[in-house]
Amino acid sequence: MSYRVIEGTSDGSGLRIGIIAAKFNHEIVKALLDGALEVLSESGVTASDVTVIWVPGALELPLTAAVLADSGSVDGIIGLGCVIRGETAHFDHICRESIEGLSTVSFETGVPVAVGVLTVGSVEQAHVRAGLAPGSGGAKGEEDLHRGKEAARACIEMINILRAMEDSG
């Protein structure tokens, strides 16, 4: 049996990427942003083709992503944030709304939106997923658990998958 296979690549040459980063838990989100920017650069995305938008918190990510997607100025979007569980149900609401909102933007606009929002139980868990803890992908040779890097890779690959689907008819 013969079938077609469509796969994305990690080539970011010529891609325009929007990154929306939540200011809340700034140190952690800045580390996610740094990792995403590193991957984008290594993939061939030029700095002039990256727009970084800082918003107050994770709840503001979906609206900003929707406006950015509708603008036509980017090929893909990366949403970055960090929500750490507290003593109230607030955590559950923020996590659900921000992640579902980003997914909805992607579905409704057709613009890939990679979700790099950490939803963790502690600051220590956030540090591991942002490459700030030893052994978390912050140094060469360490296992890469960095979610900012992962989101950037996913964004590039999804843009290329969608383009390959369009090209294949």
- pLDDT, tens digit, 9 for 90 and up, residues 72-90: 999 999 999 999 997 777 7
Q: Would you say residue 141 has pLDDT above 80?
A: no
Strands 76-84 and 113-120: parallel
pLDDT at 135: 64
pTM score, whole prediction:
0.92
Confidence of residue 50 (pLDDT cuts 50, 70, 90): very high
**CA-to-CA distance for 77 and 69, rounded, in angstroms?**
8
CATH topology of domain 17-162: Rossmann fold (3.40.50)
Q: Which run of H or E residues covers position 113?
A: strand 113-120
- Residues taking part in catalysis: 90
